[in-house]
Chain A
Amino acid sequence: MNLHEYQAREILRQHGIPMPEAAVAATPEEARAIAARLGGKVVVKAQVHAGGRGKAGGVKLAKDAAEAAAHARQILGMTIKELTVHKVLIAPAAEIASESYVGIIVDRAAQRPVLMVSPAGGIDIEQVAAQTPQQIHRLAIDPRFGLLPHQALGLGFKLYPNLGQARAAADIMVKLAAAVYAVGASLAEINPLVTTPDGSVLALDAKIVVDDNELDRRPEIAALRDASAEAPSEVAAREAGLTFIKLEGSVGCCVNGAGLAMATMDLVKYYGGAPANFLDIGGSSNPQKVVNALKIITADPNVKAILINIFGGITRCDDVANGIVLATSQFPLKVPMVVRLTGTNEREGVAILTKAGYSALTDMDEAVMQAVARAREQTACASSSTRRPACSSRASPGATAPSTPSRCWATAPRSWLASHPAKALSCSRASCRCSTRWPRRWRRPRRTLR
């Protein structure tokens, strides 16, 4: 979870890191009051989870309170990298003699927090790492002892030749390391760490990313989450205990396990479609999770077909099937759904779906191909209103593949389809390569149902 700059500043201040006093404002009037209280020149900074705020016009210098209010009026409500600015930080404009970088990141290869310092501050550290790697000094912190004073001082001297300033920087590093463990950060950065003309060392900006796994045991940090910076569907998913990431495609994916979920998205793309989301229902076996997942997927108007891909391990297929039946009884689906069930209690799961009038596939490639084809048909149907009746709101007709005519792709040999993914899915109405002309045998029951 990303913290806003003003939240990160507050945490670092609590740990004793010297920072100029600043405050956050949600209205131009608040900004004016804060600027008047601080006195002199101030900086008005947009509080959004995006890099490059300065370039986007989200950071402005104001010479007095009136100008600060004017800048705040301009910045509040503006959009930076698709995120709306709801708050601005008003900070005194410090006189800067030099800028450097201090950051701690939990390093996967070292399996420890690594302290990084660089005299090249004020710019993106990744850029420094790419262009002048010799300007970055690294030190792996032993979590049993924390950052030791001599280690910090050694790095302090890499930033400043002056003993007083090196000591001040070392003190800041030790406090930053303590803050990392105190809030459960996977990254904590001060960029820039500056020296002022009178020689003092100050942190001017702060960035903290908290490990999501820490939030359960740190409710005070979890409370800092800014839900307005996330897609509403992602907020709903998190509250339902699902891992969900919204994407731009048309195939809604509901999968158990993160690796399989990613592989499913990749396969959707392989067969010419685009995934609408990443969704992992997790390892538990609760039908309600499937209901919540389908609710979130169907709320996305971009979703033209739903693909459920389950490989049962500790997740049981019958529980998932029950969830699907429960969900569709609560809110009828408006788009086709393709279900793939394999693994633990597969037979029971398929039986439950069959009884409810749905069917399930057992092969992942087949399921993905069908879902991509359904999404494509739906898109085509939506654009030509006269053909709308051809679109079904029931479960995938492709699940009854054996009864489809031979000229339809669904019965083509899988090996051939695998080598012609694009061809297999081409939707050309005239030559009937897709189910806009599915056989009557499939259509008829739907009519009699009505």
Chain B
Amino acid sequence: MLEELVTKLADTPWSIALHESLYMYAITESTHVMSIMLFVGTIAMVDFRLLGISYTKVPVSQMLSKILPWTIAGFVLLVITGSMLFLAIPIRTYHSIWFRLKCLMILIAAINIAVFTFKVERDKAAWDLGPVPGKSKICAVISLSAWACVIVFGRLIAYNWFDCDSITSPTMAELTGCPLDPG
């Protein structure tokens, strides 16, 4: 079903226009990179505070209320430009093992954010300026690791080591949804 969807996407005039336009694709990818500075950059600073290693004079509540809106703005920019990058090359990206791992990492990071929002930060008034609890540090480490992986895997999508035409193992065929080359 997803396979049909990306095949249809690839045939849309928007996909072809993005794919063929040198400037629009380059501008979109550059904006994607600049948005990483805003998104991962600000989330990293919040995580360093949640680890208790930096900005310890800034209340945790302030860090969350004043910095996270900028993180969200960065995320919106990344989703818009990321969707455009996907739309430009839908079929190859859909099968990319790096794209799939990137989505998995985003999912892990999202679950971590949900746990932090609904469980961990509930009693933050008690540690707004004092020592941070272990649960906060765990969330920060998961967040930093997951977003770092998202950046690395995202960058690796550009490389064709595991494109469908070079896949020979059944496991990789399964993971990438690529047909196994009968030859």
Answer yes or no: do A and B interact.
Answer: no
